Structure 1
Amino acid sequence: MAKRAVIPPKLRTAAKQLNFSPAIVSGNHVFLTGSTGSDFAGKMPEEPQEQFRNAFDKIELVLREEGLTFQSVVEMTTYHIGLREHFDLFDQVRLECFDAPYPAWTAVEVAGLRREGAVVEIRVIACTGAT
């Protein structure tokens, strides 16, 4: 099956430096690379809530590049450092983005993430047929 990369202009530099695609479209699904909480300039905030919002902002940017919204997301996997410590705060930010029917979601506690200082990485799959 054919596939194509989705690379919004704000993510071109990072995609080129790290040799990755922010998302891949394959069939009627869009597979997004995991997003950490750094801002678009690459700075990692210390506050978890700011990281959560930044990660969802990057996801939204990629979805919009394909004409999609958070309602197009069918599956989400989140990787957390300190999951129990910040779960309620993360859930609050998540619910600012998603409405029912909510995507399938798995939250995983991890020992570390690639980005220094990151407390979350969010990976989603969206369906191009969802509205």
Structure 2
Amino acid sequence: MSEHKAIVPPGMEAVYEKIRYAPAVRAGNTIYVSGQIGRDAAMQLVEDREAQIVQAFENLKLVLETAGASLSDVVDVTTFHTDMRDLPLFMQVRERYLNTHPLPAWTAVGAHMLGGAAGYIVEIKAVAVMPEAGK
């Protein structure tokens, strides 16, 4: 059985300590990232729609970097959207962050509410696989 470790980036300690979940868990060379929302380091909602999507991707990037990975290691993405009409805007922002080949698998799901509060429009969950040492 592989050893697993919670990944808690600086600024996300409250998520682990107060909300009681790991922003990510690393098991072997695989990183399972919990859904990242458009919340800043002060745990405040970023209100502008595009800025909120950008913040969610920045949070994803921070979690991956803390685990020793990068966005190019992402193999699977699941996104949750409170309004599927935001998909074109989401896809424009996504292209800035996930544009390496091969592209990751992606599933988009409509959801009534995200992050336990009104106002959040997107949540990004991902799986990344880091290259094995020496390969």
Question: Do the two structures share a fold, i.e. TM-score over 0.5?
Answer: yes
> What are the equivalent positions in structure 2 for 1:14-93 lying under 5 Å apart?
14-83=15-84, 85-93=85-93
C-alpha separation between the residues in 2 aligned to 1:13 and 1:5?
A: 14
**Are the equivalent residues in 1 in contact too, given 2:15–2:22 (CA < 8 A)?**
no
How far is 1:111 from its partner? 1.5
TM-score of the pair, normalised by structure 2: 0.90
Q: Which runs of 4+ in 1 moved over 6 A?
A: none
TM-score of the pair, normalised by structure 1: 0.93
Q: Which has the higher helix share?
A: 1
C-alpha separation between the residues in 1 aligned to 2:117 and 2:34?
A: 14
Provide the aligned length of Structure 1 versus Structure 2: 130
Could you report, residue by residue, the CA deviation over 1:39-64 in whole angstroms, capped at 9, with x for unpaired residues?
A: 11111122211110000111100111
Could you report, residue by residue, the CA deviation over 1:54-80 in whole angstroms, capped at 9, with x for unpaired residues?
A: 001111001111221110000000000
Sequence identity (%) = 33
**Are the equivalent residues in 1 in contact too, given 2:26–2:67 (CA < 8 A)?**
no
**Are the equivalent residues in 2 in contact too, given 1:78–1:108 (CA < 8 A)?**
yes
Question: For the aligned residues, what is the CA RMSD?
Answer: 1.5
User: Any unmatched runs of 5+ in structure 2?
Assistant: none
